[in-house]
């Protein structure tokens, strides 16, 4: 399709041709022509946010829960800079987002005009790619390229900066069928020789483990199915990063739980003691590896990743395989069957025996109470209330995030949305709104803390305006809990500015917005209050008052290897975790 139209009309036509149904944005002077073009169509629904950071987080939640590209539209200057946190979050967690920003007219660029900023320069470090479009005849091509780049290879955010005069100018619109990116062609198929070598190494393993990450989920449902098939065929144990939860069912007997700083004892010990590790769609993040020179010291490492820059970046591996997880796992299974590979059954039985002994430590146990709500108990009761429902979970960032990851099991991918790489307080509520837009008939719950929820709480207004019945489940311990926990660990219990003072009355605040507020402080009342929250067909802010001083355990202290975890049955290990210098890098 080729016809003449304005730049603003091209934007809307490109979104329609890309199959976009929803976008999240906030109008301003430099983007008003696009908003005017939006007024004349009804195929793309616009969700008005209250802050541009919220717009990008909504697009992230929408993308992660639906598998589609999230779309954002903001104005120049502060509109673009307010989006930077969300763009950085999307980059670190590999989320496909296209962010369209307005810019001052081309003849004013560089003049410090009103609401001008160097959007391309500012967003270069926090996007997968970005564009400044100076010619209206380039605009359609750039928009279609942006969608291609955002969702192919390792997904990520792309910014398209459009000056106002380009939005008004007329040019020739070109449809996506006429666009082919000539320089960016991500490799999907892995090297055949390396795949065969990896399978041969795996088949001979005595103590193997699958270490899986968000790349399995980004590769699509087929990748998760292939992972499960490979695990069943081999009988090998599977663990996952925070971002990979749901790719392998938590109820499966081969599931070790989450690994890393607050992972399970069995997962971390298996990673430390394994002889062959298959890293599938993960990047050896510092929260996973602990001390690098002590990370899984005796293992041969296979790394499958679509991003070549992730290979050997943090951990030197023995067999790197660059390719899409779905394609590589499919080829590995084909080779495994063709070789008629059989695991060493005796060695595998011994390995599972050792894992069962680690499991017997019950590393996620906690001392419950009938007087005060323990945060772990609150998460468990929430799970029991919703486990048979069509539910999506988002989180803010902090202790509540870790408790949710530990105590809310996931059976399927794309049901768990959290900020992993950037650790963005304020992510959860807008992400929940984005997920609710994508799944209007589903139950969407943001598990939050009383500090994090106040970062983007204004988006509750968006939920009310668009009749999006998201539930905000606040674990209120009156502290920035993870900060307070580290102050216990590193700073002698000196709680410098980590106490959440001057908290609002969350019930009254919810009602002020037009939503529903619920408060619960006793364990015996929790089930009924949760059910009340679920039954309400409006946004709910649930203020769950929990134990103020509970810590997230188990825990690998920074600078320590996997086999030196602080366990719930020995929490005094917190006192011994301080290094010789009396401090450690967090």
CA atoms within 13 A on the CB side of 139: 34
Among candidate residues 21, 115, 204, 465, the one labeled active-site is 115
Among candidate residues 271, 480, 482, 565, the one labeled active-site is 482
User: Which one, of 423, 325, 414, lies nearest residue 92 by Cα?
Assistant: 423
Query: Rounded to a whole number, what is the distance in angstroms from the first to the last CA of the chain?
Result: 54
CA atoms within 13 A on the CB side of 525: 15
How many of the other CB atoms lie within 10 Å of CB of 316? Answer: 12
Cβ-contact 526, 520 below 8 angstroms: yes
Q: CB under 8 Å to 300, separation ≥6 — which residues?
A: 201, 275, 276, 277, 318, 319
Among candidate residues 41, 114, 339, 367, the one labeled active-site is 114
Our answer to whether residue 313 is catalytic in this structure is: no
Our answer to whether residue 482 is catalytic in this structure is: yes
SS3 445: strand
Among candidate residues 9, 23, 38, 52, the one labeled active-site is 52
* DSSP of 498-542: -B--S---HHHHHHHHTSEEEEE-SGGGHHHHHHHHHH-SS-EEE
Our answer to whether residue 115 is catalytic in this structure is: yes
- The phi-psi region of residue 112 (left if phi > 0; otherwise alpha if psi is between -120 and 50; otherwise beta) is left
Q: CB under 8 Å to 25, separation ≥6 — which residues?
A: 31, 46, 47, 48, 49, 55, 72, 73, 74
Among candidate residues 164, 326, 471, 560, the one labeled active-site is 164
List the beta bridge partners of residue 545: 476
Q: Where are the extended beta strands (E) located within 27-156?
A: 45-48, 70-74, 97-103, 129-132
**How far apart, in whole angstroms, are the C-alpha atoms of residue 430 and residue 101?**
19
Question: Which sequence positions are flagged as catalytic?
Answer: 52, 114-115, 164, 482
């Amino acid at each position: 399709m080729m016809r003449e139209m304005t730049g603003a009309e091209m934007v809307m036509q490109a979104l329609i041709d890309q199959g976009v149904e929803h976008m999240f944005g906030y109008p301003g002077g430099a983007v008003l022509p696009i908003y005017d073009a939006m007024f004349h169509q009804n195929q793309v629904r616009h969700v008005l946010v209250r802050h541009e950071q919220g717009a990008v987080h909504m697009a992230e939640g929408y993308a992660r829960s639906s598998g589609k590209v999230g779309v954002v539209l903001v104005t120049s200057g502060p509109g673009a800079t307010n989006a930077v946190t969300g763009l950085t979050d999307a980059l670190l967690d590999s989320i496909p987002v296209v962010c369209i920003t307005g810019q001052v007219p081309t003849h004013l660029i560089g003049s410090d005009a009103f609401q001008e900023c160097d959007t391309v320069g500012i967003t270069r470090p926090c996007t997968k790619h970005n564009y400044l479009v100076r010619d209206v005849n380039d605009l359609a091509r750039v928009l279609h390229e942006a969608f291609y780049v955002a969702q192919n290879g390792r997904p990520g955010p792309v910014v398209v900066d459009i000056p106002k005069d380009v939005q008004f100018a007329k040019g020739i619109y070109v449809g996506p069928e006429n666009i082919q990116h000539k320089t960016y062609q991500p490799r999907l198929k892995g090297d055949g020789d390396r795949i065969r070598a990896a399978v041969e190494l795996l088949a001979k393993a005595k103590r193997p483990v699958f270490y899986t990450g968000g790349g399995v989920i980004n590769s699509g449902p087929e990748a998760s199915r292939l992972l499960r098939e490979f695990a069943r065929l081999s009988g090998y144990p599977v663990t996952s990063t925070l971002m990979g939860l749901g790719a392998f069912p938590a109820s499966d007997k081969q599931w070790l739980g989450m690994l890393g700083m607050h992972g399970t004892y069995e997962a971390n010990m298996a990673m430390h003691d394994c002889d062959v590790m298959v890293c599938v769609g993960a990047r050896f993040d510092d929260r996973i590896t602990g001390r690098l020179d002590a990370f899984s010291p005796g293992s041969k490492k296979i790394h499958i990743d679509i991003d070549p820059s992730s290979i050997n970046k943090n951990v030197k591996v023995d067999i790197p395989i660059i390719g899409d997880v779905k394609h590589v796992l499919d080829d590995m299974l084909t080779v495994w069957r063709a070789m008629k590979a059989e695991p060493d059954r005796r060695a595998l039985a011994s390995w599972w025996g050792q894992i069962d002994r680690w499991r017997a430590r019950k590393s996620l146990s906690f001392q419950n109470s009938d007087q005060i709500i323990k945060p772990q108990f609150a998460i468990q009761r929430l799970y029991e209330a919703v486990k048979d429902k069509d539910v999506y979970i988002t989180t803010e960032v902090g202790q509540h995030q870790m408790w949710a990851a530990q105590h809310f099991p996931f059976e399927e991918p794309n049901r768990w949305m959290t900020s992993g790489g950037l650790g963005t307080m304020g992510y959860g509520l807008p992400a929940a709104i984005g997920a609710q837009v994508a799944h209007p008939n589903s139950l969407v719950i943001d598990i939050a803390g009383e500090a994090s929820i106040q970062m983007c709480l204004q988006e509750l207004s968006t939920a009310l305006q668009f009749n999006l019945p998201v539930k905000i489940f606040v674990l209120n311990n009156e502290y920035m809990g993870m900060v307070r926990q580290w102050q216990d660990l590193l700073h002698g219990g000196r709680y410098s500015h980590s106490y959440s003072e001057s908290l609002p009355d969350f019930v009254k605040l919810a009602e002020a917005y037009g939503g529903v507020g619920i408060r619960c402080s006793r364990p015996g009342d929790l089930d009924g209050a949760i059910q009340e929250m679920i039954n309400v067909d409006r946004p709910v802010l649930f203020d769950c008052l929990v134990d103020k001083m509970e810590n997230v355990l188990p825990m690998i202290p920074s600078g320590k290897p996997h086999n030196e975890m602080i366990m719930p049955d020995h929490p005094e290990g917190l006192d011994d975790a301080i290094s010789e210098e009396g401090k450690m890098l967090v």
